[in-house]
A and B are shown apart, each in its own frame.
Chain A
Amino acid sequence: QKEVEQDPGPLSVPEGAIVSLNCTYSNSAFQYFMWYRQYSRKGPELLMYTYSSGNKEDGRFTAQVDKSSKYISLFIRDSQPSDSATYLCAMIGIQGAQKLVFGQGTRLTINP
């Protein structure tokens, strides 16, 4: 079993929809949680960076962490075609921030 599980999709939704992306993890040592966005032929770009359980909002994006359930989510409101990309969750454990453990990534398409 992988330390971080993420549904690879693909996920296709109409423009303007609310998108929910999720990851579960098994290692309770994970302390920091991130969401990256990766466009085709590009490197991952950091979207959200959270530590504690609860919600963190940044524009149309909301990251949610539930450490008791070992579950994290990313919500995208008013989705746009430019949001079409692969979204990766990532986590940091005790070995430090440079060794991220990634989910498989969810490929998202927003249809105009």
Chain B
Amino acid sequence: KAGVTQTPRYLIKTRGQQVTLSCSPISGHRSVSWYQQTPGQGLQFLFEYFSETQRNKGNFPGRFSGRQFSNSRSEMNVSTLELGDSALYLCASSSPDRGEEKLFFGSGTQLSVL
């Protein structure tokens, strides 16, 4: 079974631009969560989507948004990029509706903001 797939692997953007990251969950998983990982703050929860609805949200500004499609694929968008947004963005999928609470992570998208 294929794992969680994130694209692209690397991105370089400049301040003020916006970016969209993509995540394809494990087949059959309906929950997708997004995390930001930085050396200073570690892994921090951004938001979670289940059946196209946002169920949980972390403490990030409104510039960070996401959505989920009917096939469970998810996208995350960051608008008006700031230098501090440089990070590894990780997507994780799970299947809580089937009792599978464990999160399985993708390899992440490394975003650099110049």
Contact = CB atoms under 8 A, between A and B. Distances in A.
Answer yes or no: are A and B bound together in one complex. Answer: yes
Between A45, A90, A98, A104, the greatest number of chain B beta carbons within 10 A of the residue's beta carbon is seen for A98
Given A102-B42, A103-B42, A97 B105 contact: no
A56 to B, nearest CB: 14
A85 to B, nearest CB: 14
Interface residues of A, number: 24
A43 B96 CA distance: 20
Contacts, number: 63
Given A44-B90, A88-B43, A105-B42, A98 B107 contact: no
A100 interface: yes
Interface of B: 4, 31, 33, 35, 42-45, 48, 50, 55-56, 58, 90, 92, 94, 96, 101-108, 110
Given A96-B56, A100-B45, 12 more contacts: A42-B108, A43-B106, A46-B104, A49-B102, A97-B101, A98-B50, A98-B55, A98-B56, A99-B45, A100-B35, A100-B43, A105-B43
